[in-house]
Amino acid sequence: MKRMAEAKQKYDDIAIPKELSERVGMELERGEKKHNMKMAEKKKVSVIRKRTVAAAAAVAVLFGAGVNTSEAFAREMYSIPVIGALARVFTIRSYDTDTEDLKISVEIPSIEMIAEGLKGMERAVNEDIHAFCEQYAREAETRADEYRQAFLDTGGTKEEWAEHNISIRVWYEVKTQTDRYLSIAVTGTESWSSAYGETRFYNFDMEAGKWVTLCDLLGEDYARIADQSILDQIQAAEEEGAEFWTQNWEGVDSHTKFYISRSGNPVVVLDKYEIAPGAAGQLEFEIGRTGGDAAVAQKEDGVGENLETQDGYEDNFAVDTEAVAAYAGRIKEAVAEKDIEKLADLTAFPVYVGLAGENPVVETREALTAMGEERIFTDEMVNSIERADESGLSPSMAGFTLYGGEGMPSITFGVRDGRLAITGINY
């Protein structure tokens, strides 16, 4: 625990480079100007409040994904009405590097606060997120280079090294977004070692306009409340055969990581080895704010798994490549045949459809099919999907994007309610 605390303190003491701060500031100012122009064109707030509950659900789904798969998609997000939400989360930068020695995939999020009073918090958190993402990727690459050199120096060959398939991933996930709370997890991992993986959680109370602490959620006695809840949950899990060690656990404090569940409860996150054997992975404990405890959740190798069995996929990274290729093949078939009914069968609603001049949120199957084959299956869309390679799709928080090349129309699909489904049609 002491070593972890020292490592965290060392990281927190690192100053953000001036050039990074300036660059992020420029991006945020540019985004803010675009947003202000859009807001000036909007109708009165009273009109916005008359939007239907179904539309609000559609926006929640799109924001819940937390990722934009293209710059065009990011621009369209500004045109979606903000109903009850006080922030947008989108990918401000993403890149992939793939060499014979190393694969690096980075997705950097940015938060746009809608309320003017939250702009100061917006800038601070975006700078922190950007610094963490870029620093983790840079330091992980250095570790990979050192690992490679040590491997070669001890008799390993370049061919043998290539078989290691070394990869670095930095990505994010919107854990919760409600009318009041926003919780984001930003994670970095390295395929050859779990010792260096790190997740940072960012929790906000949008109504109060501040970062959220455990004390805010549980009160002044938060440490005792959280400790007791965690120990109770551990005892229940031990009765089912799970193994924990608590004799050296120092308990919850103000530095303990957590995010906020949709019910508004804090979910305490304990690192691998902190309270259980390494095989248990990262552990999560939801702390009930009104009594009742939630089930312990385990995370092994970065994939969540409740102690109770659940059907379906947990997330996009849990889908095997064969299933991805097969589903992409079904999408290609529907587009090639220009069969809108077949395409609707593969789609989850509400769905994003980025046709110019249209409301981008299509709420129902009937609304999609009513748009007609000619409008959905443009020549550019058909050509792009025909050229797309369904066998080489890689997962991201947004899902899997099927398209023929840079700048061409695309169809995004991913896990929705445990099953694969189309979540975006981009032109």
All domains in the chain, ordered by first residue: 14-50+86-212 (3.30.565.40), 216-310 (3.90.640.20), 317-426 (3.10.450)
Please give the Cα distance from 269 to 220 (Å, whole number): 20
pLDDT of 307 over the 90 cut: no
> Which pLDDT band holds residue 25 (cuts at 50, 70, 90)?
low
Share of the chain above pLDDT 90, in %: 25
> Which pLDDT band holds residue 49 (cuts at 50, 70, 90)?
very low
> Which pLDDT band holds residue 335 (cuts at 50, 70, 90)?
very high
pLDDT of 74 over the 50 cut: no
How many residues does the structure list for the chain? 427
Task: Write the pLDDT tens digit of every residue in 246-280.
Answer: 888 889 999 999 999 888 899 999 988 888 887 77
Alpha carbon separation from 162 to 24, 151, 167 (Å, rounded): 35, 11, 11
Task: Write the pLDDT tens digit of every residue in 238-254.
Answer: 888 888 888 888 899 99
Please give the Cα distance from 352 to 371 (Å, whole number): 13
pLDDT of 192 over the 50 cut: yes
Task: Write the pLDDT tens digit of every residue in 90-102.
Answer: 888 888 888 777 8
> Which pLDDT band holds residue 352 (cuts at 50, 70, 90)?
confident
Task: Write the pLDDT tens digit of every residue in 309-322.
Answer: 233 677 788 888 88
Task: Write the pLDDT tens digit of every residue in 109-138.
Answer: 888 876 666 667 788 888 999 999 999 989
Ramachandran quadrant class, 399 (left: phi over 0; alpha: psi -120 to 50; beta: rest): left
Most confident of 42-46, 77-81, 373-377: 373-377
Task: Look at residue 333 in the predicted model and tell me its pLDDT.
Answer: 94
Task: Look at residue 67 in the predicted model and tell me its pLDDT.
Answer: 38
Task: Look at residue 419 in the predicted model and tell me its pLDDT.
Answer: 85
pLDDT of 390 over the 60 cut: yes
pLDDT of 358 over the 80 cut: no
**In 3D, which of 390, 404, 397, 388 has the Cα closest to residue 423?**
397
State if pTM tops 0.75.
no
Task: Look at residue 240 in the predicted model and tell me its pLDDT.
Answer: 80
Higher pLDDT residue, 7 or 201? 201
Task: Look at residue 227 in the predicted model and tell me its pLDDT.
Answer: 92
